[in-house]
Chains A and B, each alone.
Chain A
Amino acid sequence: MCPAPSSDGHARAGHIGARVVVVGAGHAGVQVADALRTHGHRGCLTIVGDEPVLPYQRPPLSKEHLAPAEGVAALPLRAERHFAEHRITLLTGVTVTALDRRARTVALSDGGDVPYDALVLATGAVNRALTVPGADLTGIHALRTLSDADTLRTALLEAGSVLVVGAGFIGLEFAAAARRHAARVTVLEAAERPLARAVSAETASYLADAHRDAGTDLRCGEAVARFVGDNGRVRGAIGTTGAEYEADLVLVGIGVEPRVELALRAGLDVADGIVVDEHLRTADPAIYAVGDCANHPNSHAGARLRLESVQNASGQARHVASVILGARREYAELPWFWSHQGELRLQIAGVRLPGDDSVVLGDPATGRFSVCCLRGGRLVAVESVNRPADHMAARRLLAAGPVPAPENPHDPAFSLKRFAQELVPAP
């Protein structure tokens, strides 16, 4: 049991003895607890995770975890004893069923109630479901959890033809992994290009060609109208163009929805995620949201955003821990992201918005280039394909504040690393 740390029953946020409950045991949730302890928090600290396993790293699940070689064990986020050593109560296989804002308690699926002075919602997201006829056939999968990845890896060992629905990051990473299993791989994308909302047209076009060159049948402007099967097992799909596709394994990767049910039922604002302010706090001063589920004002984008990335989860988690301990800074970490698709290493620094201009550095034909995304005379984001030096330079540049657009990016001698060095000298 967790005694109330102050006589009025509620410790104020900013108190190192505050009772903190974190809902969600992904990257964000685990990092919140870690950062609290690292910075001197001593109060009761509970993480509630709904998966029945020790918290684990998600990025490898759509990449090397699917490799044909004898399965690599999942990488834990922290060793099991870490939680006990830091007096973090980790509940696994338990969900929060209700949130009582007046009493400041959460109700758990195992029957318990846990009081809080600060509550952090790190509930993440769920995969968007495809609601077409036949979507419930056996052999149609989604990928989010370790259990999903284990199931898919086993299924890939047997699969002859794989159909991926959606050419987003998960779909393309999975397609690359499936090719290593020597399966025939088809990817259907409803939009006219892959990653339409996530990357520039230049990068998208390069990625599409690279996947096709590697043997993937990538079809844009095509969605699934219905799946067909035998005896309850998927056999293929009919596209919205009328084309037929064979498949004994289907992966649906058409994006996610933030998990907001708890917040909604508690009367908190929800608009593409749980609405928080620049301190990652909801309208209830005792409740925060971080990671995939949080819709926050992003200073780098100059807009409200909901980001799905390890950087965002970890960065917001560390920030919210500092806020709970009394800091007053606004969240301002630079968003960055990566995706490995076979031999392709895509890295993105900053936030590109639709309508931004693009300047390509290097020659995409060499398989190594970057795209500078420009808005209003400023450099706002850099996408790099197999050019890690550009990515790291961009991260350093963009994190330091507004960056003027480079004057001579078309000059073959232009180097983003040197540009960064001139504007933001290394320490």
Chain B
Amino acid sequence: MPKVVFHHHGDTSTVVEADAGSNVMRAAVQNGVAGIVGECGGQAMCATCHVYVRESHLGALPPISEDEEEMLDCTAAPRDDRRSRLGCQLTLGEGLEEVEVDVPGAQL
């Protein structure tokens, strides 16, 4: 089963398993992971599922769509040019069996 590790400010983390085909935002919301909102339901419309992907997983990520690119300019916490992604656009499963992300300090 695909796995997501959410690292929170201050050295705590949450490990969540998810179905293949799910995504980082859904995995967080379904499991009540603090700091991920997902207000638009995964439509790349609200930028409230912003995560910083850890370096070692960057190579496995799907490319950034134009919608995601624009939304990433509007995140509540500062954008990191390399690591910022929207969790709803990170589909789990094939190619992305495991991913570790840092949860930003703010989403709204």
Contacts and interface: CB of A to CB of B under 8 A. Distances in A.
A237 to B, nearest CB: 32
A391 B71 CA distance: 10
A338 B71 CA distance: 13
A82 B32 contact: yes
A388 B70 contact: yes
Contacts of B21: 72
Interface in A295-319: 310, 314, 318
Nearest to B28: A79
B38 interface: yes
B32 A75 contact: no
Given A78-B32, A79-B30, A79-B31, A389 B39 contact: no
Q: Is the interface of B mostly helix, strand, loop or mixed?
A: loop
Contacts of A78: 29, 32
Contacts of A426: 73
A388 B67 contact: yes
A79 B32 contact: yes
B42 A391 contact: no
Interface in B3-48: 21, 26, 29-32, 38-43, 45-46
A76 interface: yes
B26 A338 contact: no
B66 interface: yes
Interface in A58-78: 58-60, 63-64, 72, 75-78
Interface in B33-80: 38-43, 45-46, 66-67, 69-71, 73-74
A85 B38 CA distance: 19
Interface residues of B, number: 22
A75 B41 contact: yes
Contacts of A85: 32
Interface centre among A64, A314, A395 (most CB of B within 10 A): A314
19 contacts: A57-B41, A58-B41, A59-B41, A60-B41, A63-B43, A64-B42, A76-B29, A76-B30, A79-B31, A81-B32, A85-B32, A310-B39, A310-B40, A314-B39, A338-B40, A345-B67, A389-B66, A392-B73, A392-B74
Nearest to A72: B21
A340 interface: yes
Given A58-B41, A59-B41, A340-B43, A75 B70 contact: no
A58 B40 CA distance: 9
A41 interface: no
Nearest to B41: A57
Contacts of A79: 29-32
A264 to B, nearest CB: 31
A388 to B, nearest CB: 4
A396 interface: yes
A374 B45 CA distance: 24
A184 to B, nearest CB: 27
B105 to A, nearest CB: 13
A388 B71 contact: yes
A27 B39 CA distance: 8
Task: Give 4 nearest A-B pairs by CB, closest first.
Answer: A79-B32, A57-B41, A388-B70, A59-B41
A396 B74 contact: yes
B29 A338 contact: no
A411 to B, nearest CB: 22
